[in-house]
Amino acid sequence: MTSPIAIERGGHRTWLKWHRGRRRAGDPAFTGARILEGMALGASVEVDLVIHADHGCAILHNLSLEQETTGTGLVRQTSAAQLRQLHLRGEDGAPLADRVMLLEDLCALLTAHPPREGALLQLDFKEDLAALDPATVAGFSANIGPLSRYMIVSGGDFDAISLLTQSTPMLKQGYDPCYGQSLARLQADGDHARFISEALDTAPEADFIYLHHEIVLEADRAGFDMIGAVHDAGRKVDAWTIKTVDSQSLPKVDRLLALKVDQITTDDPEGLAAALAS
């Protein structure tokens, strides 16, 4: 079976990131078994973080519970104990046997089943600086500290990401400029060079710059190599998210590989690796 971890092309390796812990199309998001599987293989895996009522983080994407879990209401207003009683929902909305995990639950799993060297778990923080308080930051650092060499924290609010990174030695940092005022200016003026320059200036310590794949390809069509500009600054690029593997997405992936993107976020790493191999 083709490895669902990375693609080698033209002497360059591009990692296939398991978006929300998915290995293949149809996998539910954020299940402990799949996350552990990816980390054991040495894959790049992504999960999301939102803050709950007890000043900790839940492994969920949305700020409300209805779509992803069997609960209702806001994650922010739900206690850790209540969250642990909720079940995740699959892609079809049906409840799963898997329960909602908190950050400390995931860290306990990874401690019991150590990742393979080279594996990387992306913690994508879905909130902003205003959502963080000292207790939340302290808990975040305490939970991931022993595992931080396997982790990178990312998000669209650089101040929040910077605070979390500074709280934890060895934790890598990633920045996603594809939100807010920076994206609005790009949409208004099409100045791709300024967009990426501002991103690099905003996050001078970021190991990865996370870019929507369509922005990268649009810049390429306009004659500007956005990935090359990030590489020139000594950083790496993750292009997100290839949701399906089909005749429309594969030419886009081929072009991203030709541009030497460092990582592609996908909901179907296994299917994408197989399609590219064939």
pLDDT tens-digit series, residues 214-261? 999 999 999 999 999 999 999 999 999 999 999 999 999 999 999 999
Confidence of residue 2 (pLDDT cuts 50, 70, 90): low
Percent of the chain's residues with pLDDT above 70: 99
Specify the pLDDT at position 260.
Answer: 98
DSSP string, the chain: ---SSEEEETTEEEEEEEGGG-SSTTPPSS-HHHHHHHHHHT-EEEEEEEE-TTS-EES-SSSBSTTTBS--SBGGGS-HHHHHTPEEE-TTS-EEEEEP-BHHHHHHHHHHSPPPTT-EEEEEE-S-GGG--HHHHHHHHHHHGGGGGGEEEE-S-HHHHHHHHHTSTT-EEEE--SSHHHHHHHHHH--HHHHHHHHHHH-TT-SEEEEEHHHHHHHHHTT--HHHHHHHTT-EEEEEEE---STTHHHHHHHHHHTT-SEEEES-HHHHHHHHH-
Mean pLDDT for the chain overall: 97
pLDDT tens-digit series, residues 164-174: 999 999 999 99
User: Which residues, in sequence order, are bridge partners of residue 51?
Assistant: 57
For residues 56 and 102, the answer to whether their CB atoms sit within 8 Å is yes
- pLDDT above 70 for 206: yes
> 233-254 as b/e, with b when 16 or more CB fall inside 10 Å?
eebbbbbbbbeebeeebeebbe
Q: Exposure pattern of 83-113 as b/e (b: 16+ CB <10 Å)?
A: beebbbbeeeeeeeebbbbbbbbbbeebeee
| 174: Cα separation from own chain's centroid | 9
Question: What is residue 278's predicted lDDT score, i.e. its pLDDT?
Answer: 86
Q: Is the pLDDT of residue 1 over 60?
A: no
74, 83 Cβ separation under 8 angstroms: no
Q: What is the pTM of this model?
A: 0.97
Share of the chain above pLDDT 90, in %: 95
The answer to whether the beta carbons of residues 83 and 102 sit under 8 Å apart is: yes
Residue 17 near residue 44, CB atoms below 8 Å: yes
**Domains of the chain and any CATH numbers:** 6-51+122-277 (3.20.20.190)
* Alpha carbon distance 12, 141 (integer Å): 34
Q: How many residues does the chain have?
A: 278
For residue 179, is pLDDT > 60? Answer: yes
In the block, tokens 């959502």 appear at 131
Confidence at residue 214, expressed as pLDDT on a 0 to 100 scale: 96
The arithmetic mean of pLDDT across residues 149-163, rounded, is: 97
Residue (of 86, 213, 207) closest to 152 by Cα position: 207
Q: In Å, how far from its chain's centre is CA 218?
A: 22
